[in-house]
């Protein structure tokens, strides 16, 4: 119950513009590593294989560390929840001159087109089978979208259908700050 209340309060604050981001130049690999540590217990409990594909060197984004870790941890946790035991989760990072793209892919239960259309709506949840009863509250992806948009970015979901896994792609602007040495 406490998790539900905290989640609802967080969504409410974000969607009403009541949070202020503590913006600074951050290395996206550090954000991803922190998110992996938060999601690791769930990933290990389900015996998933996790592959990280990160470019070498620092990739700086301008943002709030706590909130960006929250975004990435939520996407990793969702992948773990909706992927059968022993499944595969892959996190890829791609970089261009303007933005950093992070894609979290899994070979889980997937989504049909109707679910994809509303995946980021508040209280939207995938149907759960008996073994997926630990699914979320339908708050996390709405929060992800709001936080990513506050950072000037975008997020989208893709799936080739039920049984074919999902891909969540987050894009956030690169920092204009010079990398620290």
- Ordered by start, the domain boundaries in the chain are 2-173
Q: What are the tens digits of pLDDT across the range 80-124?
A: 999 999 999 999 999 999 999 999 999 999 999 988 888 887 765
Closest residue by Cα to residue 78 from 113, 15, 120: 120
Residues 108 and 91 sit within 8 Å (Cβ to Cβ): no
**3-17, 46-60, 84-98, 101-115: which has the minimum mean pLDDT?**
3-17
Of the spans 1-5, 12-16, 36-40, 138-142, which averages the highest pLDDT? 36-40
User: Which DSSP helix (H) or strand (E) runs through 19?
Assistant: none
Helices and strands in the chain: count of H runs, count of E runs: 5, 7
pLDDT at residue 39 greater than cutoff 60: yes
The pLDDT value given to residue 165 = 97
Average pLDDT across the chain, whole number: 86
Provide the pLDDT for residue 11.
Answer: 59
- What Å distances lie between residue 149 and 59, 87, 141, 163, CA to CA? 19, 30, 12, 29
d(C-alpha 34, C-alpha 72), whole Å: 9
Q: Name the pLDDT band for 26 (thresholds 50, 70, 90).
A: very high
φ, ψ of residue 9 in degrees (nearest 5): -65, -40
Looking at residues 127-135, what average pLDDT do you find?
Answer: 45
For the segment(s) 2-173, the CATH number from 3.30.450.20, 1.20.1070.10, 2.60.120.380, 3.30.565.10 is 3.30.565.10
- pLDDT at residue 140, as a whole number: 82
How is residue 101 annotated by DSSP?
Answer: E
Compute the distance between CA of residue 66 and CA of residue 53 in angstroms, rounded to an integer.
22
Strand ranges inside 73-150, DSSP E: 88-95, 99-106
C-alpha to C-alpha distance for 75 and 81, rounded to whole angstroms: 10
pLDDT for 22 equals 87
| Residues 14, 11: Cα–Cα separation, whole Å | 5
Q: At what angle do helices 28-45 and 65-81 cross, to 10 degrees?
A: 30
Report yes or no: 159 and 111 within 8 Å, Cβ to Cβ: yes
The better pLDDT of the pair 178, 112 is held by 112
User: For residue 9, is pLDDT > 80?
Assistant: no
Percent of the chain at pLDDT > 90 equals 68
């Amino acid at each position: 119950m406490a998790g539900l209340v905290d989640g609802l309060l967080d969504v409410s604050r974000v969607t009403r513009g009541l949070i202020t981001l503590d913006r600074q130049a951050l290395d996206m690999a550090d954000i991803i590593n922190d998110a992996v540590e938060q999601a690791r217990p769930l990933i290990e409990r389900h015996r998933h294989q996790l592959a990280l594909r990160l470019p070498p060197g620092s990739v700086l984004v301008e943002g709030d560390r706590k909130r960006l870790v929250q975004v990435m941890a939520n996407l990793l946790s969702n992948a773990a929840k909706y992927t059968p035991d022993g499944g595969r989760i892959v996190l890829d990072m791609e970089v261009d001159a303007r933005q950093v793209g992070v894609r979290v892919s899994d070979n889980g239960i997937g989504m049909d087109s109707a679910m994809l259309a509303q995946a980021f709506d508040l209280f939207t949840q995938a149907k759960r089978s008996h073994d997926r009863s630990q699914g979320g509250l339908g708050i996390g992806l709405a929060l992800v979208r709001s936080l990513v948009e506050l950072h000037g970015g975008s997020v989208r979901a893709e799936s080739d259908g039920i049984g074919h896994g999902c891909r969540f792609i987050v894009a956030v602007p690169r920092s204009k700050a010079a990398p620290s040495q």
